[in-house]
Every structure is written in C-alpha cells, then in structure tokens.
Amino acid sequence: MANNPKNNTPQPDDQPENMSRRNLLKSAGIVGAAAVGSSAGSNVIAQDSPPVAQASSPITLEALETLTAEEAETLEAICDCLIPSDDNGPGAREARAVHYIDRSLASHNSGARHNYLVSLAAINDYARQTRGQPFNRLIRDHQESILQAVQDNTVPGCAPSGSGFFNLVRNHTIDGTFCDPYYGGNQNFVGWDMLRYPGIRLSASETDVAKGAELEPNHQSAYDNQTYTKMAHNIQMGEQLNNGGGSSNV
C-alpha cells in the first residue's frame, strides 16, 4: 500500500512522527487486501483525529438487526476512534462499519452478541462514572483514553475481558471497513479506495497488472458479477438440499 508520490515532495503520511491513518493501516498489516480480520496489529487507535465530540449519528436512523440505538451510537464512536476519517479520506464511520457489525451479529458473528451487549454497557458506565457523559458524547482524547483502559483491562465488566473485547471490536471494525460491500460495510467502496484496491476482476491484461495500485477502480462487489452470484446460489441450494428441503434446478 505504498503512497507512490508523483514527485519527491514529502507528504504528511511519510513523516515518521505523524501517526496517520494510512501509516496506522500499514503497521496493522492491512496491505492490498479487500477484506481482512484477525491478522491486524495489536494496538489500532489513531492519534491524529481532532479532539471534538461527535454529533448525533445517522446510524441511529437505520433499522438495526441486533444492536440497540444506544449500543450502535457507542460502537460507532469506538469504530471512529479505531479508523477515523482524516485528510486522506473517510474512515470506519463513513464505511458504515457498524452496519456490517450489526448484521454480522445476526449471522456469522452471532456468538459475539453477548460480548457486545455487556462490554458496550460497561464502557458507557465507565464513561459516565469517570467523565460524566456516555462514551459517544465525549471528546476524542477522552474516548481514546477509555479505549486504552479497555485494552489494558482496567474497565470492569467487559467480556471476555477488556483486551479480548478490544481485539474483537478492532477486528470487526477492520472487516466492516474493508469487506465486500455486499456484507453491509465498505459503503461506496471507501475502504477499498483507502487501500487503493482496484476491485475484483475475472481477468487482467498485462497493462492492468503493470498499473498495479494505479489501476482505475471498478467499484463492483463480487456479487455484482454473474459468476459469483451463480456460485453463491448453487451453494445455497446445496445447503437447502442437505437440510432436506427444496429442490435443485441449478
């Protein structure tokens, strides 16, 4: 995920003292991937976002599958700390990482629902006790200090532990920011654009390969392609047959 500057003028991302989001993602090992998860680094809280309180979030206006409105607001503030928007572009909030997490807790991540339930409540209780307001209404510096306390296991009530929940929500935030948009995150392909991932292609010419990260993004989900769609349909029908229902006409 090199910056590939077109001239030799130093860019803000290239300065070692600037823990920008792009350098943050480099250090987390998120390089050239369309969807990533637990391979990320252990401490992913950006330090270069402005310390301002966040306004009321659009996430509360969406239909939620598993999270309550308060949980979604708290979680969105956490995701925004982990992968914030900055001068380089949008982050987890704009990618709707929380929308992905909410949907995933109703499906493949359903086993983590209890951990989110108790840990988000514990974080909010801790924020009120130590700062006098719920987590999503705190300034960024105070939010980051609380998340550091979560990671250091000094916030009581988190499950399976403070550090365990921090790692869980960090990985899910990364997934929701960089996943295929089909799964509810990476809205408008902002995550793929951040990584300079040009999108899924069934074939690539020598010219395409030579362009590398400079290849024009196609902004297509895998499920926009008939080959992937038919494959997913066949898998679904096969599962239905194995469960003793439906008929196969594939």
Q: Is the peptide bond before 160 cis (omega within 30 degrees of 0)?
A: yes
Is 222 within 8 Å of 182 (Cβ atoms)? yes
Percentages (nearest 5) of helix, strand, coil residues in the chain: 55, 0, 45
Average pLDDT over the chain reads: 77
Going by pLDDT thresholds of 50, 70 and 90, the confidence category of residue 199 is confident
Q: Is residue 211 part of a domain?
A: yes
Q: Are residues 59 and 121 in the same domain?
A: yes
Q: Are residues 213 and 161 in the same domain?
A: yes
Going by pLDDT thresholds of 50, 70 and 90, the confidence category of residue 223 is confident
Q: Are residues 138 and 227 in the same domain?
A: no
Going by pLDDT thresholds of 50, 70 and 90, the confidence category of residue 248 is very low
**pLDDT for position 228:** 63
Q: Are residues 249 and 206 in the same domain?
A: no
> In what helix (H) or strand (E) does residue 162 lie, and over which residues does it extend?
helix 162-178
Q: Is residue 149 part of a domain?
A: yes
Q: Are residues 93 and 39 in the same domain?
A: yes
The residues, any chain, with a CB within 8 Å of residue 180's CB and separated by 6 or more, are: 34, 35, 186, 221, 222, 223
Q: Is residue 17 part of a domain?
A: no
**pLDDT for position 61:** 58
Q: Are residues 239 and 192 in the same domain?
A: no
Domain assignment of residue 119, given as a range: 31-219
Q: Are residues 212 and 225 in the same domain?
A: no
Q: Are residues 191 and 236 in the same domain?
A: no
**pLDDT for position 62:** 66
Over residues 132-168, the pLDDT tens digits come to 999 999 999 999 999 999 999 999 999 999 999 999 9
The residues, any chain, with a CB within 8 Å of residue 238's CB and separated by 6 or more, are: 248
